[in-house]
Structure 1
Amino acid sequence: YRDGFVVDDGPYRRLEDPENAEFLRHLAMGRTPRELVDDAGENVTVGLIDKRSEEYVEEFRSFSGQGTSLGTSTSVSEDGRFDPASLVEPPALDENRPTTSIAVRLLNGSRRVVKINTTGTVANLASSLRDSSDEPFRLVSGFPPKPLQDGSVTIEDAGLKGAQVSMQKA
């Protein structure tokens, strides 16, 4: 777009941001931006759609603020199992609050980068992955990998800012 860009279905990223400028500089040099590089070192195909002549129009999202669910939640059990069938839509990203990118290794071995507010929870992260599995899963992080058992812990408090997380079958 005229003053920014979008990666996949992610948020609008302004050109003024130095991190975004570096991303585009890598693309212009024919290199894969760091955040898209696969951990396994495999080749990454990047497809571009030139929309520099267009203004970005933000898609309207109803109920895009932080919300609180009333009643009981069955999305995460006490042992850290997340059931995709009971996970709800994750809260929309609030660009006015601190954000981080978390690299997630999915059950099928592919990789997805999730951009999330640092005040979001581990359960919010799991919700953003609910379309990646029909089976219950756990999230693990660190070395040696440790399960993220408490879905109510914030991304920041769980030490997941910029982290790598893996999905495992529950």
Structure 2
Amino acid sequence: MSSSSDDQVASFLAITGTSDPEAAQFYLDANKGDLNEALASFLEGNEASVQRTAPSSRPAASSSSKTTAKRATGSVSTLGSIAKHGSDDDESDDEKPAEFYTGGEKSGLGVLDPNSKKKDRSAQGLIEQIMRKAQQGGAPPNEDDDASGASRFKGAGYTLGSDEADSTKVEDPNEVFRRSMAHVPPRVKRTLKLWQDGFSVDDGPLFRFDDPANKEYLEAINQGHAPLSLLNVAFGQPVDVEVQKSDDNYSPPPKIHKPFDGQGHRLGSEIPPAAGNASVALQQSASQSSSANAQPSMDVDASLPQTQLNIRLAAGGRLVSAFNTTHTVDDVYGLVDRASDAAGHAYVLLTPFPRREYQRGSKDTLEAAGLLKGTLQQKFL
């Protein structure tokens, strides 16, 4: 080995910090003695090895943290974790078929028990599987940490331009994912309560184990799927399922007392009118007002002196009409008969103050009776 080659090896070792002269000589020979190219090849090889080893170290850290979460909360799990552990359980040692061996001392034949691989598909078996997967699932990930970590580096990148090619914009691939996730309904939490005679969701009704239709719900949850009608979620909505097991039979939750529940009725009659009769009442009042506007009147001779009487009816309302001074008291009775519902009721017309009664059939004129521009009141007898 020449002195120049030794100097290159020493420089290579000093720059890279390695202590293997053979490796340094290998990179120098591969790059025809060019120290810069040898250093570049060495660095590229180290970066590739780091990228190959980094992914294998990350799952180890996550698995250890997940193990800690399993010990802390064993009854909270997402449907995704249930589905994941459902596939893991298929390969677990507990569900592998039992192995038996037969044969001589130096040769043998392995025999697998065909019945040990079969899973219990009954309702109780599904419940045990869901409970086991919920305990293995651990607590759901903290979404706040993920959101804060993802927000540290946002935006787009730009490629370096040159005289021949302009700089181009490179969109953030995570931004597309964030925009798509913006339309996903928010994550919700549901509580799956397992009783001795069935199961329920939150404070809902009981789904009995002996009902074949309810078994399909348990199988869907065991496979990591969310029955939309059972969990009351939208399609694609993330949901966390908390599993609670009880040794008692189902007991419905107590009803929430509502001190003010029902409807009210306004004062007016012993039997309150129905809401649908409001329009009928309005029509009746409108017809009454229209009939009130079309009050009967006397035939007045415009060539003779005139006066006006204000008559208060006993059933309510008021009658105002013009008269000639030559009209009689009996003419006023005839007008009141046409204007009021006094059929079958005897009444008398009188002045309020001073009180004076005017009898039916009187032929006294209004001028003679002193009723010019006066007020009369109808009174039932």
Judge same fold: TM > 0.5, yes or no: no
Structure with the greater relative contact order (CA < 8 A, sep ≥ 6): 1 or 2? Answer: 1
TM-score (norm 2): 0.21
In terms of fraction of residues, the more helix-rich structure is 2
Larger Rg: 2
TM superposition score normalised by structure 1: 0.44
